[in-house]
Structure 1
Amino acid sequence: MSDPESPPADRFPVGAASTVAELEHDPHPLLARLRAHEPVSWLPALGGWLVTSRDLALRVMRDAAAFTVDDPRFSTARLLGPSMLSLDGRAHARHREPFARPFRPAQTRERFTAFVEAEVDRLVTALVPAGRAELRGELAGPLAVAVVAEALGLEGVDAATIRSWYGEFVDAVSDITAGRAPSGGADEAYARLRASVEEAVAAPGSAPLLTEAARQEEGLTAAEVVADAAVLMFGGIDTTEGMICNALLHLLGDPEQLDLVRRDPAGLLPGAIEESLRLEPAASVVDRYATADTPLGGVRVRKGDLVRVSIAGAGRDPAVFPDPDRFDVRRANAAEHLAFAHGPHFCFGAHLARLETRTLLEAVLARLPGLRPAPGPAPQAHGLVFRKPPYLHVRWEPSARPRDL
């Protein structure tokens, strides 16, 4: 165990030299160094510990008694108040269960398959004649917004407004995580979301998911329903948009792997999606706070310390994933990634996110012949917390006859 009296800079030289900019732009070389030499490291730039090995990441996320989200410093709690994302134990279950129930695998397939297929068909059909598009803004984002609006029952709110709300929330969470003061835009967006949710809950027959959450025996208050609805926007829009864009980025950036998927889509497309989640999870880190002095990976974490789990680091742990920086659609254990977290805060929208991503990828590969990156600088995923490319310009042959995927 490290000497607790040693200055952090001496005990954790890799962590001490780390910067927020490095973690935002291209964190993977740094995460590899940390994992190899300081799998639990103190990063002054983040004001806390960073965990980069998969086994220790699992330990932290599984043990809510020792590593909790229930702390006033938690980013979404500072923005939204208490929600399913910032509570543990019975309070967490009370918030989570009403929203999680409709997203179990069978219910997800029954409730959303036809809607997702129709929405993907509408969006792709509009793109086909052009021969070019920016897929993040014209396809991935609109699909994720439409599905969340459908799930929440916010039928009277246009897509651009919903995207502006979650954009403000994402920016604010990223600012807080980086130690910056968030702008006031998130407060205004939250006020508008609150008004829309309260209106939907009050209207007879509308927004059944929100209404049911508010009317259970141990029902949530209106403020709590609003906070949980905002959390669903994080998981349902930004990270799903990122999941889709990162999968497209990996496939289009590797013609050999893309050709394998084209030749055996039923067998390899699901694995390609899991492999992309492993390599570049859309939500790169999750935060916990130590409830007591706790040994972890050879160091002693003090009560109250921030313990940040690097989902991105865990996904490239060579002890679990050989040749971890390689995109391999045939990787047998790709699904052992932690992109949807683990333990009591595992993302219950994982089944829906996979449904959206697979449906969209099947459609673009089948209906946009010769799909390829547009000329110009290759986009790269970016972001401290939420990682995805800022744009995804592509071209295809609009006059070619689409073939079966």
Structure 2
Amino acid sequence: MSPLAAGYPIGAAASVEQLTADPHALLARLRAAEPVSWLPALNGWLVTRHDLALQVMKDAATFTVDDPRFSTAQVVGPSMLSLDADEHARHRAPFSRQFRPREIEDRFGDFVRAECGRLVDGFVATGRAELRRALAGPLAVAVMADALGLDSTDAKRVLAWYDAIVSAVAEISAGHAPDQPDPLGAQAFGELRAHIEGSAAKPSLLAEAAQALALPEVVSNAAVLMFGGIETTEGMIANLLLHLLTNPSQMDVVRADPSRIPDAVEESLRLEPAAAVVDRYATRDVELAGATIARGDLVTVSLTAANRDPALFDRPDDFDLLRPNLRHQLAFARGPHFCLGIDLARLETRVAVETVLDRLPGLALTDAATPAGLVFRKPDAVHVRWDAP
């Protein structure tokens, strides 16, 4: 054991498998005893306390994303996700105008409701479905394709690009492919690039962005938006459905008062954020909660751990949508890299649950399921039954 690892025995014993499957007990031990811990399994530091997570995410001058090792940048190139300071602002600004909170409902509300209805129409008569693949994933793909002006592209093709890019990023994050991105991810990004370049002249969000950014920059940012907009939204919907279906008292609350569904969305994000971690790199030697972090070190913030910090959240492992401070959750990060599509993801998740509860009476889980994943956490499947018409 290295001298560094010897100073952090809990972190030194942690494995990628533990962090992927059911990390909550391990993260609680780290948060209590080693809130900034060295994990050889990640070859970096893991931050697990809520206040420290905020500190790291807000201080982009000390903890940056702008590093050649940043996983997403290795697959899709520089983008708003992997740049800081002026370059980050330049890449983000052309897209930010399209995701203003007050405009999300007007721009996407009718489309999301129609798409949810169309998807449920396809299986409502069967009395059984797997809702992650039948509803959550297809909805997220359709909305992002519409947002990016790719609505004429076959949804399966968009999903194939996304799956390959996500897989490549996850492999790098897990340390399985640190030097060379998965060629399937590179191929998928190449196909996405060619498709966007061939249609950049059509009126769309991407065409507007092309007025301010070079075309390769538009493509990289489109990949990031697709990546985040599909992966995290699918996870949000699947996780929330699972939380409601395994907590009957909370399901009763939203059935009795659907206006509480937005609170259920926030509490589900707190309990199991769809994006479990964010990576940063130290730009200088710095001390954080007694840990001496060297310039260039990887500093990973566990949003999963921060969202269950008992210093902030009473009974942190319980799903309680009546929790008074549930909006203090960090699932969408904080600081300059606060999620651009937060309000669109919330809209999709809320409408998906409203549609399911309205259209599928007697809804019940048929198979046990738990969220899993190192970087993105969601159940493998959400198998349900209901009283078919």
TM class by shorter chain equals over 0.9
Which residue number in structure 1 is paired with residue 330 of structure 2?
A: 338
Q: Residue 207 of structure 1: CA displacement?
A: 4.3
1-structure distance, mates of 2:35, 2:291: 10
The answer as to 2:187 corresponding to 1:191 is no
Give unpaired runs (5+ residues) of structure 2.
none
2-structure distance, mates of 1:183, 1:289: 22
Tell me what 1:3 maps to: none
Determine if the alignment matches structure 1 residue 392 to structure 2 residue 385: no
Which residue of 186, 203, 214 corresponds with 1:221?
214
**Does the CA-based 8 Å contact 2:282-2:297 persist in structure 1?**
yes
- State the partner residue of 1:51: 47
Question: Number of matched residues?
Answer: 385
Provide, for residues 135-178 of structure 1, a one-character-per-residue CA deviation record: whole Å limited to 9, x for no partner. Answer: 01110001000000000001331111111111111111111111
> Structure 1 residue 139 and structure 2 residue 159: aligned?
no
Q: Any idea what SS the aligned residue of 1:50 has?
A: strand
Identity %: 61
What are structure 1's unaligned runs of at least 5 residues?
A: 1-5, 400-405
Deviation (angstroms), 1:277: 0.1
| Candidates 77, 82, 95, aligned match of 2:78 | 82
1:212 to 208, 216, 219: 208
Which residue is equivalent to 1:257? 250
Asked if the contact 2:142/2:151 (under 8 Å) is kept, the reply is no
Q: Which amino acid counterpart does residue 289 of structure 1 have in structure 2?
A: Y
Say if 2:361 is the partner of 1:382: no
Aligned to 1:122, which of 95, 107, 118? 118
* Cα distance in 1 between the residues matched to 2:137 and 2:284: 41
Counterpart position of 1:105: 101
3-state SS in 2 of match to 1:328: coil
The superposition leaves residues 119-140 of structure 1 with CA deviations (integer Å, 9 ceiling, x where unpaired) of 1111112221110101011100
Tell me how large the CA RMSD over aligned residues is: 1.0
SS of residue paired to 2:225:
helix
Determine helix, strand or coil for the equivalent of 1:289. Answer: strand
Counterparts in 2 of 1:207 and 1:230: CA distance versus 1, 3 Å:
farther
Q: Which residue of 2 aligns with 1:17?
A: 13
SS of the aligned residue for 2:273 comes to coil
Distance 1:331 1:55, change over 3 A: same
Deviations 1:244-297 (A, max 9, x none): 00000100011121112111121x211111000001000000000000011111
Give secondary structure in 1 for the equivalent of 2:275: coil
Question: Runs ≥4 in structure 1, deviation > 4 angstroms?
Answer: none
Q: CA deviation at 1:10?
A: 2.1
Which of 303, 309, 322 is equivalent to 1:311? 303
**For residue 35 of structure 2, what is the aligned residue in structure 1?**
39
The range that moved more, 173-182 or 356-365, is 173-182
Q: Which residue of 1 aligns with 2:158?
A: 162
Give yes or no for contact 1:8–1:16 (8 Å, CA) kept in 2.
no
In 1, distance between residues paired with 2:86 and 2:35?
A: 32
TM-score normalised over the length of structure 1: 0.94
Aligned pair 1:177/2:176, yes or no?
A: no
Amino acid paired to 2:316: P
The one of 326, 348, 353 equivalent to 2:345 is 353
Which residue of structure 2 aligns with residue 28 of structure 1?
Answer: 24
SS of residue paired to 1:340: coil
* CA distance in structure 1 between the partners assigned to 2:322 and 2:152 by the alignment: 43
- d(CA) in 2 for partners of 1:123 and 1:100? 29
Contact 1:373/1:393 (CA < 8 Å) preserved in 2? yes
C-alpha distance in structure 2 between counterparts of 1:211 and 1:9, whole Å: 49
SS of the aligned residue for 1:108 comes to helix
Matched, 1:373 2:365: yes
Does the 8 A contact of 1:51 with 1:308 survive in 2?
Answer: yes
* 8 Å contact kept, 1:152–1:207: no
Distance 2:344 2:47 in 1: 28
Aligned residue for 2:321, secondary structure, equals coil
What per-residue deviation string (whole Å, max 9, x for no partner) do you get for residues 208-246 of structure 1? 21111111xxx2111111100000012110100000000
Aligned counterparts of 2:199 and 2:324: Cα–Cα separation in 1 = 45
Determine if the alignment matches structure 1 residue 63 to structure 2 residue 53.
no
Deviations 1:289-323 (A, max 9, x none): 00001111111111000000000000000000011
Contact 1:100–1:348 (8 Å) recurs in 2 = yes
| Partner SS, residue 261 of structure 1 | helix
The answer to whether the 8 Å contact 2:63/2:282 transfers is yes
TM-score (ref. length: structure 2) = 0.97
1:287 corresponds to 2:286: no
Shift of 1:183: 2.8
Q: For 1:87, what is the secondary structure of its paired residue?
A: coil
Say which SS state the counterpart of residue 45 (structure 2) adopts: strand
Q: Secondary structure at the match of 2:281?
A: strand
* Structure 1 residue 200: Cα displacement: 1.5
Q: SS where residue 42 of structure 1 aligns? A: strand
**Deviation readout 1:61-104 (Å, 9 max, x if unpaired):** 00000000000000011111110100001100110011111111
Secondary structure of the structure 1 residue equivalent to 2:373: coil
